Structure 1
């Protein structure tokens, strides 16, 4: 069929099991998903990992965009084992009853020694049909994906740290701690911060090249109380969805606590809650004694509601405590190699973007690897978009999270920054729906390649000039506050006016209203929004409501399906 990835026809199996088409370093979600997809296409894949499964991993909160990307990967490349990741029920029934449900993003701002102000409560629950976001218990999800990769033919070596890599014109090679050598035609490093390729090529950017600053400590606990039980407010201030049924962000000046429960549904057999504290290391230097348990509890005690949240909590695994966690790479693709996802860079877990970024990168990388193998052409220009996407994801997330930390000091500014984040969540999903509808109707892979042609790779709404202008104004005002040139409250007022006047902020969702604490669009709100988009909205976003297939026939619109379905 025209527009399909180049057919890869594997030749005779190598005479040695240590010769592969693709070598992948790291068997977490990124490496195992990529390996399973490639192996399903007939590619000889080696997965190498210095650790073993099951194991602890961060990045536990999903978004609707995350799930849609995994569903597309499952259908684009014929790997149905990825589908259970796209719904809470699928995960429960086909992986393990250990995940939690996630029905919202919840944000509560705190001041030291004070109860939080209910007027500053914020909750965002984007609409979706059939895709219920989850809190992934990563030791189960990652092991499941590794086993999937093995079933599809990946050769796996666990517990073997990599000592060296060779990146040559006509081959790549990896040497492990025992001196054993593995050769291949292409190398993907999905190993995270301690990337052997980044180290070998000295690719890490200086820390000064990133704007955001934070360090982090995290663990799993039992006995964490639901946020709903810890707030001293009346029923009139309760959100439409209980706080415990989502990912909770407890914000304070230049920092935030997270609470991600795996035990917030009767179906779960997992008593654990993921907890963490992320804070600006310049304002809050890491103490010399490096006792994260004590430091975590000392910070929690500063905020009465947070202290109640964790008062009876007990840790079940060692704390992880790190200095500044931001890093990036000057280059992420080259001749026969790619740094993927967290091997390329990382900013902060705020907004749960990590898994979506990983899936988006896999989606853009797989077909290029298949074409390169089929044509025996690994020129880095073929992978140029992957480079642009990864650098864009790092850049825009760096600016978004940096602005958010700056804004935590004042609700007026934070309220505006929060709404700029919200303003991207529905358009990016509708954009993705339009392209996937066309792909599923036609079976033509060129539709998905067309989706990559965008003005701003990595921007939360990558093709929108209007959103780019809104985003840039947020950066301008927040950085002026950071330099002491503007008062936070005044900048917040100006930025909120910009949000209200921006033509690309969708109407009828409540995002434009600064007093709308809980963004929870109902079916009638979505119908009005769709009507506005079709008849009054900006021209650059009108395509979000169209369901016309590549052959000109009307398609069932995913937006129209959403309209009749409550959360």
Structure 2
């Protein structure tokens, strides 16, 4: 370094500054996916994050709907790098042999000091020929998407701490330490719970805005045993798919453990298992002086089969322990900004809805943002549906999970709530298939925009008044139990009767039969379901089999029976 003359002071270096079309805070799955889509279309994007990749993240379990959303994003926006996330083989071959397979949702209810009752075992396997859900090892998948965004042209700024946000009529700006300044035409905050934008605009709603209550603790472990080897039951009680090949939910009164293995496929080189405990903080307040691992093992010890899962397990990274994890926002869009996905709100990891919700929001935001950039029009009204969707996703998930926690104490009620959830899983996928098939055949993006026009955005089955009524009845019944106005057993039997008689519950899947423990439809079951839906099912759902035209209207019932089976 050159010697300065006596008395001379170096001139301070100018603070870094940049100008982009879109600033995205958060480079996880949400931010990197949106960044890649925008950059692929020629938008100048700056991805900023307080952390660096690779890094630990939870939200590892996918659903069939998650995969269909990401496959559509890949094809709608010309980003084929998103397709590997839609299958275990794709993750293995294109990202790395570190993710696991997920062939089902498994639920086992436990009571303190007892072995679980095999009569209460439940397993749901969504039917699919083309796609295979996975357990995503997020440090690898997130880094892969981050690098994809960079390859498409995103600029990045990691380890960036936001000091202030500037929202003006004609621009937005993020200011970091030392005055570092980045300006843009639009800001997307996909950073999560500690959203700088939510803090800046005081967007968080009060805790009483949400019904569900839970706190959580989680980590990755090695040496976790499979559920199959820890249950003391005979072969007659084995499910059609081994428990280890799916996401396991071990339920108890007002709480549940998860076990998400990355080591459950022959090609996986990852010995880890994601584990966690989520429980109602009102029933189980956080104890003073007890660390999360000690508390986790104390809870596991209450339930013999769960304790066996973790007897030899060892923690490989620090535990994360949080108080009540539910939050939501008063609004999620404004002039030149959007609070997206987990920055907007979060309920609970039950049912693995986090990545699905992320995909839905990216899909609804991306095309609107591309048009806004082209027209230089960022009015809040333009993005109104994005807010309606996010508020709906939070509301319905809040009610679904709250009902589930209420029901965990009694199998009859839980069995009914579980079936209400299951009843949406096949229709929502068939609905998505019919619209995306028309889009792929016609290339008309307007078909997908019509899909957004259904009533009840964010509902498990948008546009279905029959399912909406069934869902609302579930909420009414469970909340009456929660208030002490009804017993769980009687409420469960009544809700099962309502579900059995509901026209929107698809036949031939086993959902109407409370004794059907394992929902695992085979090709013949699906063909019978398709035939029933076409000829005897409710009018409001017949389009799930016949398809839709480019305006979203049902087509005549002429589709071949074989093609009616979900692909």
| C-alpha deviation, 1:127, in angstroms | 0.3
Are the equivalent residues in 1 in contact too, given 2:22–2:185 (CA < 8 A)? yes
Q: Does 1:350 align with 2:350?
A: yes
- In structure 2, the residue corresponding to 1:192 is in which secondary structure? coil
Counterpart Cα distance in 2 of 1:463 and 1:337: 28
Counterpart Cα distance in 1 of 2:369 and 2:229: 51
1:92-491 equivalent positions in 2, closer than 5 A:
92-491=92-491
- In structure 1, the residue corresponding to 2:541 is in which secondary structure? helix
Are the equivalent residues in 2 in contact too, given 1:222–1:313 (CA < 8 A)? yes
Counterpart Cα distance in 2 of 1:265 and 1:84: 17
| C-alpha deviation, 1:560, in angstroms | 3.7
Counterpart Cα distance in 2 of 1:183 and 1:384: 24
| C-alpha deviation, 1:563, in angstroms | 3.6
Counterpart Cα distance in 2 of 1:558 and 1:247: 34
Counterpart Cα distance in 2 of 1:209 and 1:427: 29
| C-alpha deviation, 1:491, in angstroms | 0.3
TM-score (norm 1): 0.95
Counterpart Cα distance in 1 of 2:82 and 2:356: 14
Task: Name the CA shift for 1:559/1:168 in 2 (closer, same or farther; >3 Å).
Answer: farther
Give the match for residue 492 of structure 2: 492
- In structure 2, the residue corresponding to 1:373 is in which secondary structure? helix
Give the match for residue 84 of structure 1: 84
Counterpart Cα distance in 2 of 1:444 and 1:140: 34
Q: Does 1:68 align with 2:68?
A: yes
- In structure 2, the residue corresponding to 1:173 is in which secondary structure? strand
What RMSD in Å do the two structures reach over aligned CA positions?
1.6
| C-alpha deviation, 1:293, in angstroms | 0.5
Give the match for residue 8 of structure 1: none
Counterpart Cα distance in 2 of 1:547 and 1:23: 39
Task: Name the CA shift for 1:312/1:559 in 2 (closer, same or farther; >3 Å).
Answer: farther
Are the equivalent residues in 1 in contact too, given 2:446–2:550 (CA < 8 A)? no
| C-alpha deviation, 1:163, in angstroms | 1.3
Give the match for residue 11 of structure 2: none
Post-superposition Cα deviations, 1:135-192, rounded to whole Å, max 9, x if no partner, equal 0000000000000000000000101111110111110000112320100000000000
Task: Name the CA shift for 1:506/1:553 in 2 (closer, same or farther; >3 Å).
Answer: closer
Are the equivalent residues in 2 in contact too, given 1:32–1:146 (CA < 8 A)? yes
Counterpart Cα distance in 1 of 2:302 and 2:315: 20
Are the equivalent residues in 2 in contact too, given 1:433–1:558 (CA < 8 A)? no
| C-alpha deviation, 1:521, in angstroms | 0.3
1:19-38 equivalent positions in 2, closer than 5 A:
19-38=19-38
Post-superposition Cα deviations, 1:389-428, rounded to whole Å, max 9, x if no partner, equal 0000000000000000000000000000000000000000
Q: Which runs of 5+ in 2 are unaligned?
A: 1-15
Counterpart Cα distance in 2 of 1:298 and 1:312: 15
Counterpart Cα distance in 1 of 2:451 and 2:155: 32
If you compute each CA radius of gyration, which structure gives the higher value, 1 or 2? 2
Give the match for residue 10 of structure 2: none
Q: Does 1:517 align with 2:517?
A: yes
- In structure 1, the residue corresponding to 2:164 is in which secondary structure? strand
Give the match for residue 4 of structure 1: none
- In structure 2, the residue corresponding to 1:326 is in which secondary structure? coil
- In structure 2, the residue corresponding to 1:312 is in which secondary structure? coil
Are the equivalent residues in 2 in contact too, given 1:123–1:519 (CA < 8 A)? yes
Are the equivalent residues in 2 in contact too, given 1:437–1:549 (CA < 8 A)? no
Are the equivalent residues in 1 in contact too, given 2:546–2:555 (CA < 8 A)? no
- In structure 2, the residue corresponding to 1:412 is in which secondary structure? helix
Counterpart Cα distance in 1 of 2:130 and 2:498: 34
How many aligned residue pairs are there? 550
Give the match for residue 12 of structure 1: none
Are the equivalent residues in 2 in contact too, given 1:328–1:344 (CA < 8 A)? yes
Are the equivalent residues in 1 in contact too, given 2:543–2:555 (CA < 8 A)? no
Post-superposition Cα deviations, 1:459-517, rounded to whole Å, max 9, x if no partner, equal 10011000000000000000000000000000000000010010000000001100000
TM-score (norm 2): 0.95
Task: Name the CA shift for 1:238/1:162 in 2 (closer, same or farther; >3 Å).
Answer: same
Counterpart Cα distance in 2 of 1:556 and 1:254: 48
| C-alpha deviation, 1:17, in angstroms | 6.7
| C-alpha deviation, 1:554, in angstroms | 9.3
Which runs of at least 4 in structure 1 moved beyond 6 Å after TM superposition?
Answer: 551-559
